[in-house]
Structure 1
Amino acid sequence: MPRGTACAVLACATLASAAPAAHAANPVQPYGKNDAGGFHDVLPPGTRGLDNSAQLLQFQITGQRPQHWLDQLPLYRDLVYADPTLTHAQIASYYKDATFGVKPGDIESTESPLGRPGLTIIRDKRYGVPHIYGTSRSDVLFGTGYAGAEDRLFLMDVLRHTARSQLSSFAGGAASNREMDRTQWEIAPYTEADLQSQIDNAPKLYGDIGTKFVQDGKDYVDGINAYIDQAELNPDKLPGEYPFLGIPLQHWKLTDVIATASLVGGIFGKGGGEEVRSAQLLQAFVQRFGLQAGRRSWLDFRSKDDPESPITVPGRFPYETASAFAKRGLAFPDKGSVKFTPPAPPPKSSASSAAKGAVGGIGHALRRHQHMSNSLLVSARRSANHHAIAVMGPQVGYFVPQILMEEDLHGPGFDVAGAAFPGVNTYVELGHGRDYAWSATTADSDVEDTFAEVLCKDDFHYLYRGRCLPMEQLSRTNTWHPNAGDSTPPGQETLTVYRTVHGIVYARGTVKGRRVAFARARSTYFHEADSALGFAALNDPTKVHDPRSFQRAVANINFAFNWFYTDANHIAYYLSGWYPQRAKGTSPDFPVLGIGKYDWRGYDPTYHTARWLPFARHPNAIDPPYLVNWNNHQAHGWNAADDNYHYESVFRQQLLADKVRHDIRGGRRMHLQQLVQAMEESATQDLRGVKVLPAMLRAVGKPRSAKLRAGIALLRRWHRRGAHRRDLNRDGHYDDDAAVTLMDAWWQTFVPGEFRPALGGGLYGKFTRFLPIGDPIGGAATSPDYETGWYGYVSKDLRDLFGPRPRGPWSRAYCGKGSRKRCRRALRRSLAAALKVTRQDLYGHDPACASEHRVEASCFDETRSTVVSGIDIPAFPWINRPTFQQTVELTRHLPR
């Protein structure tokens, strides 16, 4: 029997028992049913993400793309040109109507997969969004799987293989694919039995609710496989990438969904876990300055709870307040003893393997854009219409097709529309319900720790609770062959890591002469799928109906996310995550002994659970005047995770918050279009030019050199104009191109000129590898995001010397080694050096800009999407905003 026929028969047999009775009522609701109105959103480039072989060939010949491939890109891209005169009426020109359902004249297609009478999927003509209606819960979940495959099947396949550290086996042995396999195997190395255990443990841990969510997952997988069976028989439904690359279709299993959840959560929902590297950095400070002065200097830069760091919510929420230098259980690595243990040696680059391969470097792109989400909400008492307003969304990068997909779901337990990650789109993860909306930003809060496992017998046994236990070896062997998209020669490699009761060993060394293995413990390890409890509640109108029910819902999400909520009358915030309660008196910054005595409170190694921080101790708020977050510090008292040194006195959130505060100051009230513009204006601003440049120019003073004075005047004029990186007249060049170019050049000379003499070359080099100075120029083109960098370091150090005096001043001044005169001389030299830097020096290393004869900042910054398809889209101008974004302006609450 041909494979395609076998799959179809098996699928029909599997689904027969799950199919609803033939007399099921039509579940379709009219447009706007159970929707309060006032929801708009945008998700570029477009809904469609599946191209069959004929469409792929058509694109290669004529450049024609399938319908709905990039029809939302103009909305997203062109908002920048509406500044500064955006009106309320114009919002609908840049965000599409997100009301539940489809207008009668806007129906593009209607289908009931497999003739399933309880399921109807309608797509609208304008954007092709799937609107899924189910008579039963099973119908809705089957529909989400089917529609997900219909829009993103090949991308879903890429994600599940990435999640299983098998991207190179799936798509080819390009260096970027093999590097992603290594990274994922170090973060979430699961065997098939491990993944199945998460399914089996759900009823044990959560009872009937756990059983229900397992069934949800099975129904979802059935929907995916139903589409795969059709695609094997109908070439119009088969993504062209499969025959092009010679990849066979394979059915999905529920364990694939669990694996994909581990990928998404491991990238966007974690923080911490770098205690060893943080310890090495402290050692470098102590070597430079001595024990006490070195510790004080390290604390300067650590920025755990800087009193000047911009926060999201008022009040104090103490967490990780113990001293970094607490001695109880401390396992500080001996200097020079640490050896990191990656799953395999770094991949060797060659002419054939150095390229990104058939899937465009998806792993790098995912991790590059995990920290660009933002949310702006204004309370009812501060808005012009006396109702809460919001502009909010997640930044997950730019992909083709997009790595989020849209869905509109209705049935038992569902009245919701929005976006979700393909492969785990069982529920809408970011979107709106009947009369409320929600969104999230990555929180970076500390859900990972490092335990030093004391070795016994040999390198692969360790002491735990008085016993000498063996480490578990986890191996994954990948094999690849050349394909049409990746010419890497045939090859094979095995990835190997070792697991203890705490987690994955990532380094080895000694502590006071004793051999140890450093293992990373993540609270969500073996529990990535548990967040389904929270997402399902957000989708259910009986579960979420006000700010407090929203907070309770997202508290069931164990990933570290900042969550935002709005309805007609309220705004709210809650920080989700399973936050360990560490053993009393232990350091939150450095490794602790893993012998059992210093475990997380209530730690159970069998189920990898513990007594997590209670609900009320998480940062939270209901109805403050406004809420603004751009991945910044949550609240004072909530200390930054050990891998996070960048909650500094300058943070890009200030770009947003300053505008909101300005527009509500003195009793003024804010309109939705003002809130959109606050986001959009900030999206093209250079944080350095807005927030750091005044201190830089004050420090440089008034030099005699005419060239320096001219450069200063250029930068000062740019600052007064808003320090934008944008091209409003669309001539292909930034409106302030000369100033932008000088700022890019000067930052590269200014920061080392300020800090390297005091820190010394060794410490400065080590530190900048740990935390780069921010958006470096000189390599391949990249869009700036201004999240991590030395922006606050520069500002605080200069204000300490030249005023105004900062709050929370450092233990010493670094510029000029504390001398204003030496500092000013060094900074003037840095400006003189920057003025000699050419555009070719800065931007000439990118082949795309060189080929277009546009060696300049506007080209270098452009957004070039990561293509996971045979059909790409054009680059578009840089904009620092969420990928999926909602505008919300509600005026009523609907009865339940």
Structure 2
Amino acid sequence: MPRPIRTAAAACSAALILLAGVGTALARDYAGTALNIIPSGQWGGFGAPPQADRQARLYDGLTPLFDRVTPRDLTTYFKPETFGTKGQCPCKAERVPRRGVRIVRDRENVPHITGRNRLDLDWAAGWVLAQDRALLLSLGRYPARFAALDTPGVDAFGLVTSLKRVTVTEQADSIIDREQTAALMARGSEGRALLRDIDEYVKGINARLRFDRSLEKPWTRVDVYAINALAGQIFGQGGGDEARRSMLLDGLRRKLGADAGRRVWNDLAEQLDDDTPTTISKRFPYARIPSRAPGSAVIDNGSLNAGAEAAVATASRAHRNMSNFLILSGRRSTNGHPLFVAGPQIGYFYPGLTLEMDLRAPGIQARGAAMPGGAGNLLIGRGEDFAWSLTSAGSDTNDQFVETLCGGSDTKYLFRGRCRAMGSVNAGTIAGQGAIRYRTTVHGPVLGYAGVGGRRVAISFQRSSRGKDVLWQIMFRRMTNGTVTGLRSFRAAAATSPFTFNVGYADDRDIAMYSTGLLPLRDPRVDPRLPTIGTGQYEWRGFLAARHHPQVANPSSGALINWNNKPAAGFSSSDADWSQGSTQRVTLLREGIAKREKHDLASVTSAMNAAATQDLRVAGPLLAGLHNVLAGSQAPSPRSQRMADLLNAWRASGSSRLDRDLDGKIDVGAAPAIVDALYPRLADAVLTPVLGADLDRQLSELEGTTNSTASGFTGGRINYLDKDLRTLTGTRFRSPFATRFCGGGDLATCRAAIWRAFEETGAALALTQGSEDPAQWTSDATAERIRFLPGLMQTTIRYTNRPSGIQQVITFTGHRKERR
């Protein structure tokens, strides 16, 4: 907590000191409306103060409004994101040991920082970070090293949230420092400027640690580098799950035969499905599948050793995809200017993973959410006349390579005609696990060992952004410094990111999106869905040029809507993402926007807020497809028919899981409990006849057993069910499956299987609910209330699937004179 100035005389004296050399006036604010919310709040100490949950309660207040948000509600349930403190007091000036820096805290504890220059802001951002997120920094700095190194089998973020004690080695720090500093130096003057920012930022962190008499070791560049790598591991990469998915292919070929097994696997992979919703309609081809792929390998099913299995599962599990943006052009707006409702969904934590800052220095005026490791830059936010936000794109930045072992050794491998010794890294120790050591090849860390055609091989992991994580900050540096002044400079800034995100942008006239990342150009003899043979013949051939990345400005539709759906038509899904199919939750946002031609900020927020509590399994096309399959048939029991009727009635009422009256039960009654229990059985009923029980379980390990609140309504095999069932009743798709799953394509057989799933679900629910009558059943809302991990703040809020790192609600009505 800041130390307040206690008397009027002291306040006046301190203000004179603070203002000495700080004469920077507020820049003109071109926003007509600028609001935001960060549910985790600004406070972040070990003992959460009573006011720590104020923003969480505002955030929760919007949820029950569903699609009825009014302009007045915006100013009730969001807070100002204007520059300076006007209308945001009572405020407190804060003493800092650096002349030329002024920090004033508003009523939400947000720091408004003024400096004489950029380096002052860097220092002050470090000071504030250590003040407001000291606990998070202490928990995260050492586990983050494992993310920077891609340490096999280690879930770095899981170590943070589990509060596990970690120590790291000099070797680990040396590797990270060498690689990341070299990457900055290679960027020339901009890289060197960012390095100066980092060094000043570290000084600010350490100044605050000394002020607080902290026992923490002083921060270094490596801490900043590693924290950026951790953020990238969680949100900014994709792919790297080829080995497990190729094992499924091997299993299918053994069960069904080579051709039939390959056809089923192609259907399941959903690598390029022209029926999936995209944000950009123009085609941006990437990562096509060759007719022959001699550069790819298929892992023998079940041959991954236990360590490798855990390592590849951990790498895939690290990716989080929950963010969204709704950006409308002036043509679709009642005020004639773009509307911007956007934010990243990074989970719910206390201390929060983001914190807010308002930054001002000559030539710099920006406000928004910063992140640990941000080096004085804002992650998501706004300048004088523009705003930006991110959603995880999950594009294919990672690959697994099959290393040919030689010399009868597990530590020698063949590369470009000669046997090489693997490297060795001692990364550190984890309490309860001991020392963390692993081998490396030219491609990266060795995840473990497996078989290919009965021959033992090593599996290594290559990530395009490894050793370049800190370059992510260049985009945010340009945004924060105000050097982004229009479409061209926005695209140029976004193109610098090594991590893969969809970046949304709006000013007073233009809207745009650019999908970022170092996207490998693979050898044309490699199938991007399978592991690559690592002998040196099939290496990456550079990276996708900026002009070929999915991007658009001012689309004819007047809308840019993204909820981690595929960015553009023709753009390949990563090998780890088999969920970009015929249904995706972004359709819920689209439906809300489609309700009217012209919107204001309240109606755009309504579309977002309604979708945040809707159940995709019911609101999307799946339930309609299921209804059509069952139409004209007789349910095996009145109970099953009543269950089906309740689901259809829920769809008609809006498909929301709201608990408005906070009685602990979802308002609509039994239907949510029915779909939760029915869905996994339904998926098995559709897929198991083709896959068999063992391969269905294997697919479920890759894609999840259910599509639900727990998964944010992603994955869970929903696309297979949706397309297969709708195909069965006559829907024609642009990318049809070659396989008929449910009932082998026979409608009567499929119906019988689905009704059996209803019967089994009904029997199970009758036992747990204590009644045979579905009308008497209830759905538990308390179980899915959101809790702030790891439990230091006890407040809980209603279930909602909306941005949590920050959500901005903004429209601009003017612009600086210069525009590029």
TM-score, scaled relative to structure 2: 0.90
Q: Distance in 2 between matches of 1:102 and 1:204?
A: 38
Q: Which amino acid aligns with 1:894?
A: R
Q: Which amino acid aligns with 2:657?
A: R
Q: What per-residue deviation string (whole Å, max 9, x for no partner) do you get for residues 592-623 of structure 1?
A: 2222221111xxxxxxxxx3210110000001
CA-CA distance at 1:104 after TM superposition: 7.5
Aligned partners of 1:535 and 1:557 also within 8 Å: no
Instruction: Using the TM superposition, name which of 280-289 and 550-559 deviates more.
Output: 280-289
Change (3 A) 1:166 1:431: closer
Q: Distance in 1 between matches of 2:62 and 2:319?
A: 21
Q: Distance in 1 between matches of 2:511 and 2:58?
A: 27
Instruction: Using the TM superposition, name which of 266-275 and 693-702 deviates more.
Output: 693-702
Instruction: Using the TM superposition, name which of 216-225 and 21-30 deviates more.
Output: 21-30
1:798 pairs, out of 719, 725, 745, with 725
1:881 pairs, out of 780, 802, 808, with 802
CA-CA distance at 1:67 after TM superposition: 5.7
Q: Distance in 1 between matches of 2:669 and 2:512?
A: 40
Aligned partners of 2:562 and 2:586 also within 8 Å: yes
1:41 corresponds in structure 2 to 36
Q: What per-residue deviation string (whole Å, max 9, x for no partner) do you get for residues 314-362 of structure 1?
A: 1100000123x6323223334554325359999xxxxxxxxxxxxxxxx
1:865 pairs, out of 788, 806, 809, with 788
2:77 corresponds in structure 1 to 94
2:12 corresponds in structure 1 to none
Q: Distance in 2 between matches of 1:329 and 1:42?
A: 49
CA-CA distance at 1:182 after TM superposition: 11
2:470 pairs, out of 529, 543, 549, with 529
Q: Which amino acid aligns with 2:656?
A: H
Q: Distance in 1 between matches of 2:23 and 2:769?
A: 58
Aligned partners of 1:108 and 1:122 also within 8 Å: yes
Q: Which amino acid aligns with 1:146?
A: W
Q: Which amino acid aligns with 1:698?
A: N
Match of 1:769, SS? helix
Whether 1:328 aligns to 2:294 is: yes
Whether 1:286 aligns to 2:256 is: no
Whether 1:890 aligns to 2:812 is: yes
Q: Distance in 1 between matches of 2:380 and 2:163?
A: 28
Aligned partners of 1:165 and 1:181 also within 8 Å: no
Aligned partners of 2:183 and 2:468 also within 8 Å: no
CA-CA distance at 1:888 after TM superposition: 1.1
1:621 corresponds in structure 2 to 552
CA-CA distance at 1:867 after TM superposition: 2.6
1:462 corresponds in structure 2 to 413
Q: Distance in 2 between matches of 1:476 and 1:175?
A: 16
Match of 1:636, SS? strand
CA-CA distance at 1:512 after TM superposition: 4.6
Aligned partners of 2:672 and 2:779 also within 8 Å: no
Q: Distance in 2 between matches of 1:716 and 1:291?
A: 41
1:639 corresponds in structure 2 to 572
Match of 2:796, SS? coil
Aligned partners of 1:413 and 1:539 also within 8 Å: no
Change (3 A) 1:631 1:176: closer
Q: Which amino acid aligns with 1:548?
A: R
> Map of 1:200-599 to 2, 5 A cutoff?
200-202=181-183, 204-232=185-213, 248-323=215-290, 326-339=292-305, 341-342=307-308, 370-412=320-362, 414-424=364-374, 426-457=376-407, 458-478=409-429, 480=431, 493-512=434-453, 514-541=455-482, 543-599=483-539
> Map of 1:626-775 to 2, 5 A cutoff?
626-664=559-597, 669-691=598-620, 692-701=622-631, 702-704=633-635, 705-775=637-707
Aligned partners of 2:67 and 2:607 also within 8 Å: no
Q: What per-residue deviation string (whole Å, max 9, x for no partner) do you get for residues 769-788 of structure 1?
A: 11113247xxxxx7451011
CA-CA distance at 1:842 after TM superposition: 9.0
Match of 1:106, SS? coil
Q: Distance in 2 between matches of 1:453 and 1:496?
A: 19
Aligned partners of 2:319 and 2:394 also within 8 Å: no
Match of 2:279, SS? coil
Q: Which amino acid aligns with 1:251?
A: P
Match of 1:438, SS? strand
Aligned partners of 1:191 and 1:474 also within 8 Å: yes
Q: Distance in 2 between matches of 1:387 and 1:145?
A: 36
Q: Which amino acid aligns with 1:117?
A: R
Q: What per-residue deviation string (whole Å, max 9, x for no partner) do you get for residues 505-527 of structure 1?
A: 11323445554211111000111
CA-CA distance at 1:165 after TM superposition: 4.4
Report how many residues are paired.
782
Q: What per-residue deviation string (whole Å, max 9, x for no partner) do you get for residues 171-214 of structure 1?
A: xx99964998999999x997111121135314541122221111
Q: Which amino acid aligns with 1:711?
A: M
CA-CA distance at 1:835 after TM superposition: 1.5
Change (3 A) 1:792 1:190: farther
Q: What per-residue deviation string (whole Å, max 9, x for no partner) do you get for residues 643-700 of structure 1?
A: 1110010110110012212322xxxx12221110000010110000111111112222
Match of 2:212, SS? helix
Aligned partners of 1:344 and 1:495 also within 8 Å: no
Instruction: Using the TM superposition, name which of 130-139 and 784-793 deviates more.
Output: 784-793
Q: Distance in 2 between matches of 1:512 and 1:775?
A: 35
Q: Distance in 2 between matches of 1:286 and 1:278?
A: 13
Aligned partners of 2:180 and 2:469 also within 8 Å: no
Determine what percentage of the aligned residue pairs are the same residue. Answer: 32
Q: Distance in 1 between matches of 2:147 and 2:390?
A: 29
Q: Distance in 2 between matches of 1:344 and 1:650?
A: 30
> Any gaps of 5 or more consecutive residues in structure 1?
1-20, 57-64, 168-172, 233-237, 239-247, 347-362, 481-490, 602-610, 777-781, 844-853
Whether 1:159 aligns to 2:88 is: no
Whether 1:76 aligns to 2:42 is: no
CA-CA distance at 1:816 after TM superposition: 1.1
Aligned partners of 2:278 and 2:567 also within 8 Å: yes
Change (3 A) 1:24 1:328: farther
Change (3 A) 1:653 1:492: closer
Aligned partners of 1:464 and 1:595 also within 8 Å: yes
Aligned partners of 1:35 and 1:100 also within 8 Å: no
Change (3 A) 1:198 1:671: same
Q: What per-residue deviation string (whole Å, max 9, x for no partner) do you get for residues 536-593 of structure 1?
A: 111121x211122111101101100010001111110000000111123221111222
Q: Which amino acid aligns with 2:73?
A: Q
Change (3 A) 1:515 1:749: closer
Q: Which amino acid aligns with 1:813?
A: R
Aligned partners of 1:145 and 1:223 also within 8 Å: yes
Aligned partners of 1:39 and 1:99 also within 8 Å: yes
> Any gaps of 5 or more consecutive residues in structure 2?
1-16, 149-154, 771-776
Instruction: Using the TM superposition, name which of 376-385 and 725-734 deviates more.
Output: 725-734
Change (3 A) 1:181 1:584: farther
Instruction: Using the TM superposition, name which of 625-634 and 491-500 deviates more.
Output: 491-500
Match of 2:809, SS? strand
